[in-house]
Structure 1
Amino acid sequence: MTQQHSGGLHHRFLRGLAHSADRPALRIGSERVTYRELHERALVQAGSLVGAKAVGVLADKSVTAYVGVLGALYAGATVVPLHPDFPPHRTRHMLELSGATAVVADERGRGVLAGLGDGLPVPAGTDPSRALTAPLQAGPDDTAYILFTSGSTGRPKGVPLSHGSTCHYFQLMDERYDFTSDDVFSQTFDLNFDCSVFDLFCAWGCGATVDVVPQTAYLDLPGYLDRRGITVWFATPSAISLVRRMGGLAPGALSSLRWSFFAGEALRTHDATAWQSAAPGSTLENIYGPTELTVTITRHRWDPEISPHHSVNGLVPIGAVHPGHDHLLVDENDAESPDEGELLVTGPQMTAGYLDPRDDAGRFVHRDGRRWYRTGDRVRRLPDGELVYLGRLDSQVQIQGWRVELAEVEHVLGACDGVAEAVAVGASTQAGTELVVFYTGDVRPASHLTRSLRESLPKGMLPRRFEHLPELPLNSNRKVDRKELARRAGELLA
């Protein structure tokens, strides 16, 4: 593939503008903003942002937020999406680390900013007399976005994504998918989550519409998708369980969809099967990638005849690494492994490093004269070259000498009668690490669950405690909140 840089990520919006000027670029509830209107508002916003190196966007998924994202790019600045619900000290740290000298905020964001104390930029205003006549250009090495990951230290790590890396990424997306201006993309992700970038710039690159999906839509997702004409769906796999609980996965219920994408968590085969049945006209893909590799770096196209047989522990393959990149699997001694190990990737989608260089240690390594990113994910290579996700390196715990794969326990328990979802976590006690399982579905006696597990697992891998929940807790990115479950497990065993 020939790498071409078009002058910046915002040129994807300009491409959509040229094709769909008077069609909606954005829908939020009853609000409808055309490409022309969003372009003009972004030019006005950009006029107050010129000269800013980085711009914080502190807002809910409001029109203000989307104008802020596009306006920052038009001004030649870096977008720093921030979540109004985050703890104040975390938001302040992100603003300071990113070097943001301007902030675009809606009413709620202004309230948050006012409570962060002195020394931070005030919300940027707008002055039509200062509006730009055209967006400023950006170079391939300039930073388009700064996104923050939670980080193993508990301190958020800033990940800069360049215009060059996003250009490469979206060129691949254009080659792989047949999106058109008639499509309507869901936006289920918050703007500080990297998957939101896929929704925005895949849609805007072809003149399609982005529809911001409210949480209430899940009460009747089939009805919502039908009323809004949504054709491209993207969410975390946890959304499938939620739709199932609301009764929205009947065969053929999601008939408007042409494409269905899932990322951010491991996708289970029985969830993929159920979703495909509900959306029979949709092509389903499981896509995977850490933020450090620009949104997603692998993709597997679901085939109901083949994919289940390639699954491991009930998890759908994550597929092949994107063209133009190299990858390695390494064992616990960092020796290259042909079939299974930690996934390392290098290529044009890889970030140049964290904002704080101290965070690079252990994540970016040099091998064979090249720099690689260590994903921290264990994968297995299938005979056809595709990869299967086995779990995080830290998802393997040792209990009384047994090396326990949490994904294996979850897979076996998920097959038990009445169990809808199961998450296993290790909890430290005075006697060592103990295994606790949280599950949803029907309440079952612990003896019943233990008896089912004994048929497949050695005695040393059996959980000490089973805890029923009406639903699993989700974090701000709508992934299962394993840290919260680990905290609860510690309290239960205390």
Structure 2
Amino acid sequence: MDTSLTGGLHSRFLRGLALSEGGTAVRVGDQDLTYGRLHEQALQWGGALADAGARTVGVLAGKGISAYAGILAGLYAGATVVPLRPDFPAARTAQMVQAAGVDAMVVDARGSALLPEVFTGPTVLSPETKVRGALSEPKQVRPEDSAYVLFTSGSTGRPKGVRIGHGATEHYFGLLDQRYDFTPEDVFSQTFDLNFDCAMFDLFCAWGAGAPAVVLPGTAYRDLPAFVAERGLTVWFSTPSAIDLVRRTGGLTPGALPGLRWSFFAGEALMVGDTAAWREAAVNATVENLYGPTELTITVAGYRWDDEETPRVAVNGVVPIGAVHEGHEHLLLGDGDVEEAEEGELAIAGPQLTPGYLDPADERGRFLERAGRRYYRTGDRVRRIGDDLAYLGRLDSQVQVLGWRVELTEVEHALRDCGVRDAVALGVPGDAGLELFVFYTGGERPAIELVRALRKVLPEGVIPRRYRHLAEFPLNSNRKIDRKALAAEAAGLLAPVG
């Protein structure tokens, strides 16, 4: 046996297939796709991809059967999968396709309509495609082979492609298998968009257990307790912003979510007050706050909520991010990259670390070599609290808004391209959580005009809704733009009246 080979990420699905071949693997609306049927579809499409020599497969489809079968088919073919969203601007998607070297595409109807603008290759699979020569079994891969590529915001105005290997996912899901007791009787939520790495948790935790993943439509939040009960959900995973949404729709009442066994949150700071309210509704659930940048394979730290202890140890009302995963080393960096004992920028090395970005130029300043190990600089400030870490905030201009990782410099760059003279984008706390607020100079323009222009180059989730025109920016004593003063002004404008 060649020990350099591994079953790869798709071996998680094969394990679920062995446990629940006739059971539901994915439920989209009223449509169920069994493990057996999804496996068959993935072998068929995987055969077509392998015959075409595809090495990098774009999946340009919404959360539906084509997307899930496409992801699995790409993995079965031994290719790298690149999830893409058909509701993104075509120009941005074309950038990603080119950067990743996509040489085959799986699409749904909406993705198919975009193909002329984003992809010119000969290999395109859709539900209408007639396929010959299915794979007899999935191909084996090496641990260092890329399982998927995901794109994050880039400060140069273009997305950064992050490569994640099969070895990293094997380590990650192996740890989760030890930590959690998922079974075929569980039912998982699938809340995250497929270009968001937490969707990999949704799918491959469910599939590794032989359980179904249930796609949540937007309408589910109108009465989440009813949806959870009707679908029999037992495992929930979302951004913390979902808590406030459920609260505002009247679903966060005591005992309203009794069927949940596990509740996970990631993607932005999780507040103590929100978690306590969720716990009152999900009275039988164990709640965990998960932490991790895309570069460290989905999540690389976790903290288990305790009703009494957590509020006592939390810093600034934020639930701790917990301990870094086994097998990793971490540093806290202070000024001049001097290692600090108690507080600093979190840097992590270990088996979940990306081998790098698609463009090596994007790696400048993001990695640190220390004692023969390569660390990723997260840009997050943390503090030690016993054996755990507390999240203190971002060091740079990157913020989390409704689960989106937003590079403020990218927003500013896009605004300048839209014709403003200069722009400052800020993440400012508002009634609905962190909001993007823009100050700009040059000619004054209607906000709707700026929004329309930005929609051509940015995803909807990172487009600011608040704009304020200034004749000039305030400067600090160093003659730099005084961002603190602008943040204070924005906070005042967002503050409720009365």
TM-score, with normalisation over the residues of structure 1? Answer: 0.81
Partners of 1:307 and 1:47 lie apart in 2 by: 50
Task: Say yes or no: does 1:207 pair with 2:210.
Answer: yes
Partners of 1:434 and 1:114 lie apart in 2 by: 33
State which of 55, 58, 63 in structure 2 corresponds to 1:56: 58
CA positional deviation for 1:206? 1.1
Q: Which position in structure 2 is the counterpart of 1:123?
A: 124
State which of 288, 299, 304 in structure 1 corresponds to 2:302: 299
CA positional deviation for 1:333? 1.6
Contact 1:331–1:337 (8 Å) recurs in 2: yes
Partners of 1:33 and 1:188 lie apart in 2 by: 17
Q: Which position in structure 1 is the counterpart of 2:364?
A: 361
With over 3 angstroms needed to count, the CA separation of the structure-2 counterparts of 1:277 and 1:4, relative to structure 1, is farther
Structure 2 unaligned segments of length 5 or more: list them.
401-407, 413-420, 433-454, 473-498
Contact 1:56–1:102 (8 Å) recurs in 2: yes
With over 3 angstroms needed to count, the CA separation of the structure-2 counterparts of 1:435 and 1:172, relative to structure 1, is closer
Secondary structure of the corresponding residue to residue 129 of structure 1: coil
Counterpart amino acid of residue 270 in structure 1: G
Contact 1:4–1:167 (8 Å) recurs in 2: no
Partners of 1:38 and 1:154 lie apart in 2 by: 37
Q: Which position in structure 2 is the counterpart of 1:11?
A: 11
CA positional deviation for 1:149? 0.7
Partners of 1:338 and 1:90 lie apart in 2 by: 42
Contact 2:56–2:82 (8 Å) recurs in 1: yes
Identify which of structures 1 and 2 has the higher relative contact order when contacts are C-alpha pairs closer than 8 Å and 6+ apart: 2
Partners of 2:215 and 2:375 lie apart in 1 by: 35
Q: Which position in structure 1 is the counterpart of 2:430?
A: 439
CA positional deviation for 1:47? 1.2
Partners of 1:72 and 1:433 lie apart in 2 by: 40
Partners of 1:128 and 1:379 lie apart in 2 by: 51
With over 3 angstroms needed to count, the CA separation of the structure-2 counterparts of 1:123 and 1:183, relative to structure 1, is same
Aligned residues: 426
Give percent identity, aligned residues only.
57
Q: Which position in structure 2 is the counterpart of 1:47?
A: 47
Task: Say yes or no: does 1:28 pair with 2:28.
Answer: yes
With over 3 angstroms needed to count, the CA separation of the structure-2 counterparts of 1:6 and 1:434, relative to structure 1, is closer
Q: Which position in structure 1 is the counterpart of 2:173?
A: 170
Secondary structure of the corresponding residue to residue 245 of structure 2: helix
Partners of 1:493 and 1:180 lie apart in 2 by: 60
Secondary structure of the corresponding residue to residue 374 of structure 1: strand
Q: Which position in structure 2 is the counterpart of 1:253?
A: 256
Partners of 1:204 and 1:492 lie apart in 2 by: 52
Partners of 1:256 and 1:215 lie apart in 2 by: 20
State which of 217, 228, 234 in structure 2 corresponds to 1:231: 234
State which of 57, 71, 74 in structure 1 corresponds to 2:73: 71
User: Deviation per CA, 1:445-484, whole angstroms, max 9, x where unpaired?
Assistant: xxxxxxxxxxxxxxxxxxxxxxxxxxxxxx9xxx996x64
Partners of 1:158 and 1:302 lie apart in 2 by: 33
With over 3 angstroms needed to count, the CA separation of the structure-2 counterparts of 1:341 and 1:101, relative to structure 1, is same
Q: Which position in structure 2 is the counterpart of 1:488?
A: 466
Counterpart amino acid of residue 304 in structure 2: R
Partners of 1:245 and 1:373 lie apart in 2 by: 38
Contact 1:5–1:167 (8 Å) recurs in 2: no
Counterpart amino acid of residue 301 in structure 2: T
Partners of 2:239 and 2:345 lie apart in 1 by: 23
User: Deviation per CA, 1:83-111, whole angstroms, max 9, x where unpaired?
Assistant: 11111111011111111100000000001
CA positional deviation for 1:151? 2.2
Partners of 1:4 and 1:205 lie apart in 2 by: 22
Contact 2:61–2:108 (8 Å) recurs in 1: yes
Alignment of 1:465-484 (within 5 A): 484=463
Secondary structure of the corresponding residue to residue 379 of structure 1: strand
Counterpart amino acid of residue 8 in structure 1: G
Counterpart amino acid of residue 68 in structure 2: Y
Contact 1:353–1:364 (8 Å) recurs in 2: no
TM-score, with normalisation over the residues of structure 2? Answer: 0.81
Task: Say yes or no: does 1:191 pair with 2:194.
Answer: yes
With over 3 angstroms needed to count, the CA separation of the structure-2 counterparts of 1:436 and 1:159, relative to structure 1, is closer
User: Deviation per CA, 1:6-50, whole angstroms, max 9, x where unpaired?
Assistant: 411111101110110001011001100110010001111111110
CA positional deviation for 1:391? 0.5
Secondary structure of the corresponding residue to residue 49 of structure 1: helix
With over 3 angstroms needed to count, the CA separation of the structure-2 counterparts of 1:40 and 1:317, relative to structure 1, is same
Q: Which position in structure 1 is the counterpart of 2:111?
A: 109
Structure 1 unaligned segments of length 5 or more: list them.
397-405, 408-424, 442-474
Q: Which position in structure 1 is the counterpart of 2:324?
A: 321
CA positional deviation for 1:123? 2.1
Contact 1:47–1:127 (8 Å) recurs in 2: no
Partners of 1:45 and 1:435 lie apart in 2 by: 44
With over 3 angstroms needed to count, the CA separation of the structure-2 counterparts of 1:223 and 1:492, relative to structure 1, is farther
